[in-house]
Amino acid sequence: EIVLTQSPGTLSLSPGERATLSCRASQSVSSSYLAWYQQKPGQAPRLLIYGASSRATGIPDRFSGSGSGTDFTLTISRLEPEDFAVYYCQQYGSSPRTYTFGQGTKVEIK
């Protein structure tokens, strides 16, 4: 089973700064099968990115995803106050059919 490791665990930044979040897979993952979510306290996760780099409907273009193979990145170009949250990467495995999440990166206000 593929394990996703996110780093750093916590990212302390100020509004307006750039955030770079990493998701590393224990085995190669198809780019089509890598997604990112944002979760705020007391809320359900929200889909940000699917297929490693495609923004979900309504997601601002300051969010971008990139990467391939075992290394994927979520970048927030300029942090807005509403972007401080926990971010999860997720991969889909086709054999066996399974879904795995990373442990999350918390983006907090510095």
Partner 1 sequence: QVTLKESGPALVKPTQTLTLTCTFSGFSLTTNGMRVSWIRQPPGKALEWLARIDWDDDKFYNTSLNTRLTISKDTSKNQVVLTMTNMDPVDTATYYCARIPTGTYFDFWGQGALVTVSS
Counting contacts by CB under 8 A, is residue 27 touching partner 1? no
Pick the binder of partner 1 from 99, 107, 109, 110 (CB under 8 A): 99
Q: Is 103 in the site for partner 1 (CB under 8 A)?
A: yes
Which of 68, 67, 87 shows the shortest CA–CA distance to 76?
87
For residue 10, what is the DSSP state? E
Number of shown-chain residues binding partner 1 (CB under 8 A): 25
- In single-letter form, the type of residue at position 45 comes to P
Decide: is 59 part of the binding site for partner 1 (CB under 8 A).
no
Cα gap 72→89, rounded to integer Å: 9
How far apart (Å, rounded) are the C-alpha atoms in residues 12 and 31?
Answer: 28
Q: Segment contacting partner 1 (CB under 8 A): 8-16, 18-26, 60-68, 84-92?
A: 84-92
User: Can residue 105 be called a binding residue for partner 1 (CB under 8 A)?
Assistant: no
Q: Applying CB under 8 A, does 104 fall inside the site for partner 1? A: yes
**Residue 23 to residue 70: CA distance in whole angstroms:** 8
Give the span between the Cα atoms of 43 and 21, in whole angstroms: 21
Among 13, 22, 33, 53, binds partner 1 (CB under 8 A): 33
Binding region for partner 1 (CB under 8 A): 1, 32-33, 35, 37, 43-47, 50-51, 56, 88, 90, 92, 96-104
